[in-house]
Amino acid sequence: MSKLLVGLIDYGAGNLASVRHGLLHIGFNCRISNDPVVLSTCDLLLLPGVGAFRPAMQALKASGLDAFLVQQAGLQRPLLGLCLGMQLLTESSEEGGLTEGLGLIPGRVIHFGNRRWHIGWNSLDCVSKDLMFEHSSSETYYFNHSYYYDGPREFQMCTATFGEPFAAIIRRQKIIGIQFHPEKSQDAGRRLLKHMIEGLCHA
Amino acid sequence: MLKKRLVAVIVVKDGRAVQSFGYRRYLPLGRPEILASNLDRWGCDEILVLCIDRGRQGLGPDIGLLKRLASMRLSTPLIYGGGVMTAEQAALVVHHGADRVCIDFALHQDDVQPIREMAVRLGAQALIGVFPLARLGTGLQWLDHRNGVSRAFSRENIALFDQGVISEAMIIDWSHEGCAGAFDIQLVTRFPMHNVPLIAFGGISEPSQAAVLLSLPQVSAVAVGNFLNYTELAAQRFKQQLPDLLLRPTTYSRYV
């Protein structure tokens, strides 16, 4: 069986090197590009991201990748967002002033408030019956963020607790957003990433 | 529950990993990427690569080293420090694989606007302020390694934390760095910026010492350098002797 090809979206706001090497390590082919023609040939699109919401969204719009991603989601192309990439999948964020997101998953991104930021390793609780996430319950993963998803429970697959529970993984059909960094969560993260990409591509 | 962290530190000078003693004497250890690969396999919670000569010499961040580290396919969060003075440089460091960035000499500048720009671009959670400290009487003195001059904290520095521009402060007990069991806990208890998560580093070699530090609410992580680099599985052994509830359980890499 040929290896799945992951299209890593290069929009200038990502930790591309880490994600690319993580994907290669777990046995996927990987193509880094900002060209819709190239990305359209991939089995799954991965939207990475480290940084702030507003400049990242501006970069997506400037390159026309925002419209491309919405179109691809409409075509049922599997799409995975990591950390900031997950937040960009939502309708809006209050980071740096209210900014519209891709709107692929209902909900918004809000600040942690007095808790300020959530940095380090935290465990997951699976709150859905989705088998794709079941084995991740109680595993620990690396988080590094100041804002989090606030949206309907039906899209929340797993939560982590930081004072109170918040969404760590969200899903709508073939679109998944992961708030933490599976590519930097050692064996547990790699297992999850592999399982998720294969699960989405074969769903 | 969010865990506290064991950060493994690789001190780099002239492109080589070194064992450092009080930032005055250095013994070569080898290639930083090999050490990082070991620490990655041993399940450290974060790896900090601290290039101590980049800022002093005005060389900017060591992107070549970051590329070599990325090629090792590390799956442990990577913090990079050394020579980062501008938002552009900080973004480049993240682009090449670092998850977080240490700010050292930029904190000594009168104009802290570049640090604010880093936070706008990368988010405060990506920024760690580095403070080489020593005790003087009842206060703390903050060392500028470029000229060897120590001073007190400025109002601008305190504002960076109060306003949430930087997420954590790394306190380096520079005079005890490289000395077993010598970290001065009063550098933590006397740190003037309250409600700032602290990473303690310098002279931490014993799990019992780390346990005391991690039990303090303001300490989010302990960083250990030389003492993790000599023994196979040193990080796992260190973590096994710390209270389970504080840290992520010890892991052993099995993914092939």
At B43-67, the pLDDT tens digits run 999 999 999 999 888 899 999 999 9
| Per-residue confidence (pLDDT) for residue B108, from 0 to 100 | 87
| Per-residue confidence (pLDDT) for residue B184, from 0 to 100 | 96
Does B197 contact chain A (CB < 8 Å)?
yes
Q: Which residues of A touch B255 (CB under 8 A)?
A: 25-26, 186-187, 190-191
Indicate the pTM of the whole model: 0.94
| pLDDT-based confidence at residue B209 (cuts at 50, 70, 90) | very high
Residue pair A169/A157 in contact (Cβ under 8 Å)? The answer is yes
At A108-165, the pLDDT tens digits run 999 999 888 999 999 999 999 888 888 888 899 999 999 999 999 999 999 999 999 9
| pLDDT-based confidence at residue B231 (cuts at 50, 70, 90) | confident
- Whether the CA torsion B222, B215, B211, B44 is positive or negative: it is negative
Dihedral, CA atoms, A36, A39, A44, A48, nearest 10 degrees?
Answer: -80
As a whole number, the mean pLDDT across chain B is: 90
Min Cα separation B158/chain A (Å)? 16
Count Cβ atoms below 10 Å from residue B118 Cβ, excluding itself.
Answer: 28
SS (H, E, C) A177-199: EECCCHHHCHHHHHHHHHHHHHH
Does B249 contact chain A (CB < 8 Å)?
yes
| pLDDT-based confidence at residue B256 (cuts at 50, 70, 90) | very low
User: Strand, helix or coil at B9?
Assistant: strand
**Per-residue pLDDT for B254 more than 70?**
no
**What is the mean pLDDT of the segment spanning B184-197?**
91
| Per-residue confidence (pLDDT) for residue B253, from 0 to 100 | 72
At B126-144, the pLDDT tens digits run 999 999 999 988 789 999 8
| Per-residue confidence (pLDDT) for residue A171, from 0 to 100 | 97
Q: If one looks up domain A5-201 in CATH, what number appears?
A: 3.40.50.880
Residue pair A24/A32 in contact (Cβ under 8 Å)? The answer is no
**Per-residue pLDDT for B245 more than 80?**
no
Does residue A201 have an active-site annotation?
no
Domains of chain B: 5-240 (3.20.20.70)
Domain locations in chain A as residue ranges: 5-201
Please give the full DSSP string across A119-165, using - where no structure is assigned.
EEEEE-EE-S--HHHHTTTT-EEEEEESEEEE--GGGEEEEEEESEE
Does residue A181 have an active-site annotation?
yes
A183–B99 C-beta distance less than 8 A: no
ipTM of the complex: 0.93
| Per-residue confidence (pLDDT) for residue B214, from 0 to 100 | 95
B67-96 b/e (C-beta count within 10 Å ≥ 16 → b): ebbbeebbbbbbbbbbbbbebebbbbbbbb
**What is the mean pLDDT of the segment spanning B229-249?**
82
- The H or E element spanning position B63 is helix B63-71
Please report, rounded to a whole number, the percentage of residues in chain B having pLDDT higher than 90.
Answer: 60
CA distance linking residue A155 with residue A104, whole number of Å: 11
Instruction: Please list the rounded mean pLDDT of every run of 10 residues in chain A (203 residues).
Output: 90 83 92 96 94 91 97 97 97 95 98 92 92 85 96 97 96 97 94 94 87
Token pair 């419209």 is found at: A67
| Per-residue confidence (pLDDT) for residue A54, from 0 to 100 | 92
Alpha carbon separation from B1 to A120, A148, A166, B198 (Å, rounded): 10, 16, 12, 18
| Per-residue confidence (pLDDT) for residue A174, from 0 to 100 | 96
User: Strand, helix or coil at B159?
Assistant: helix
| Per-residue confidence (pLDDT) for residue A39, from 0 to 100 | 97
Which residue is catalytic, options A42, A83, A126, A158? A83
Q: Which residues of A touch B40 (CB under 8 A)?
A: 186
Residue pair B176/B133 in contact (Cβ under 8 Å)? The answer is no
DSSP B106: G
- Token code pair at residue B52: 């101590």
| Per-residue confidence (pLDDT) for residue B127, from 0 to 100 | 96
Residue pair B119/B91 in contact (Cβ under 8 Å)? The answer is no
Q: Which residues of A touch B1 (CB under 8 A)?
A: 122-123, 161
CA distance linking residue B28 with residue A66, whole number of Å: 49
